[in-house]
Structure 1
């Protein structure tokens, strides 16, 4: 009888290991690989893909187009204020910071989205882009998040 229990325990043990493995693979697939095609080139951010899970202030089509951030004071001071705002968000991690450029990761329970912010000093604005790493639709999450950031940015700039 003890021999049968041992065999059952082994089957349950293997089932548990298999389940943990499947869940781990699923979660790894949700976060996706960090893209290597992002960054500013000649004042332009990477174009959005054809899927509806991306917004950009430099997009031409209405499905992806979102308004840039308008600067309220000194361009560098406003950009530093945006960086501080992003650092204080629980869902955001800055992964690259250069003069006039920020690259961030936005984390939800299961997914990681990529965000970019590009300062245009001459036009006194900040271009932005936010895109999901995986999947086809984001159910409007990137647009919603950027509008939330815009609200916080505008509110923080009022004196």
Structure 2
């Protein structure tokens, strides 16, 4: 009986630690004046609309119909085991991207005029992500590039 109780306590502690690593959903994300939220000073964020080189990443480029490209991105994110779409509005997607211990927040904004999708991805917690947000956005870029556009 004592062993079972200790196992329950240990599992409770581990669950609490894992929950603490995911952090709370940010309340400051979204689109303001056609722009995604700026990155914080820490290096654990990338943003295609960033004015500084440390955080800048290229947007996703596409040819053809903007809505079809955005539907392709949504389909791609829906197929990723590490992604959950949290918010969807016309031309805007917000997703949670998980690693073993952490949750990152990603945003995608359709930029019809530039035939691109602006991107932002940031860690909820910590200072450095060892480049994980940048690598993941590049993985998404490559998958988006080769994925066929869904038929409407």
User: Normalising by the residue count of structure 2, what TM-score does the alignment of the two structures yield?
Assistant: 0.91
Q: CA offset at residue 42 of structure 1?
A: 1.3
> Is residue 27 of structure 1 aligned with residue 18 of structure 2?
yes
Structure 1 residue runs without a partner (length 5+):
1-8
Look up the SS of the partner of 2:147 in the other structure: helix
Number of the residue aligned with 1:4: none
**Are 2:92 and 1:101 equivalent residues in the alignment?**
yes
The Cα shift of 1:31 comes to 0.8
| Aligned equivalent of 2:81 | 90
The answer to whether the Cα contact below 8 Å between 1:120 and 1:126 also exists between their aligned partners in 2 is: yes
1:121 aligns with 2:112: yes
Q: CA deviation at 1:16?
A: 4.0
1:133 to 113, 116, 124: 124
* 1:143 is the counterpart of 2:126: no
Contact 1:58–1:127 (8 Å) recurs in 2: yes
Higher alpha-carbon deviation: 68-77 or 142-151: 68-77
Instruction: Work out which of the residue numbers 32, 36, 59 in structure 2 matches 1:41.
Output: 32
Residues paired across the two proteins, number: 149
TM-score under structure 1 normalisation? 0.87
**Any unmatched runs of 5+ in structure 2?**
none
- Deviation of the 1:15 alpha carbon: 4.5
- Residues 118-153 of structure 1 deviation map (CA, whole Å, 9 limit, x = unaligned): 001112111000011111111111100000010011
Counterparts of 1:16 and 1:153, CA distance in 2: 44
The alpha carbon displacement at 1:19 in A equals 2.7
CA separation in 2, counterparts of 1:79 and 1:43?
16
Summarize deviations over 1:53-93 as a string: whole Å, max 9, x none: 11000111111110011121111111111111111111111
Q: 4+ residue stretches of structure 1 with deviation over 2 A?
A: 12-22
- Across the aligned residues of Structure 1 and Structure 2, the Cα RMSD in angstroms comes to 1.6
